[in-house]
Amino acid sequence: MTERIADIARRLVVGHKRDGRCVYDEQAKRELIELYRETGVSVAKLARDCGVNANLLTSWIRAQERKKVVADAGGDIVDVPAAAPAFMPVRVEPPAPPPAVVTMNVQARLPNGVVVDLQGCDLREAGHLFEALGRLRCSASTRG
């Protein structure tokens, strides 16, 4: 098998484009794909042995499979059945109602001298506000 891989590798690259990309022989590509299918060797090993990128070899294999499906259908496009159905029923639970908003009236003098007077405020938001205001530095003239 090693001789066969070496033979395919020798014939695979037939030239280079102006930008440096390789031009590959179609017959050698087909033989490489057949060798992959016959032997069961991993794509990565086969590609490495032939001096091509594994992703490139994978794309050749997929393209060959697509051509085969179209040829088997007489040139028409065929839906290939998937392992799982395309759509599966999903149960969607209605969203939980938002928590009740607790409002309150607050008047507070913070340790840094700031006086806060809130009417009908949300308890959570007020907590965040008090925390932020408590961290503020104030000059000594505002205390008292």
- 114, 133 contact by CB (below 8 A): yes
Q: Decide if 80 is inside a domain.
A: no
The answer, yes or no, to whether residue 53 has pLDDT greater than 90, is yes
- Looking at the structure, do residues 8 and 64 belong to the same domain, yes or no? yes
- Looking at the structure, do residues 65 and 26 belong to the same domain, yes or no? yes
Q: Decide if 91 is inside a domain.
A: no
* pLDDT tens digits, one per residue of 57-83: 999 999 888 887 767 666 555 555 555
Q: Containing domain of residue 137, as a range?
A: 103-142
Identify the CATH number of the domain in which residue 63 sits.
Answer: 1.10.10
Measured between alpha carbons, how far is 103 from 120 in angstroms, rounded to an integer? 5
The structural domain count of the chain equals 2
- 53, 12 contact by CB (below 8 A): no
89 CB-near residues (< 8 Å, 6+ apart): none
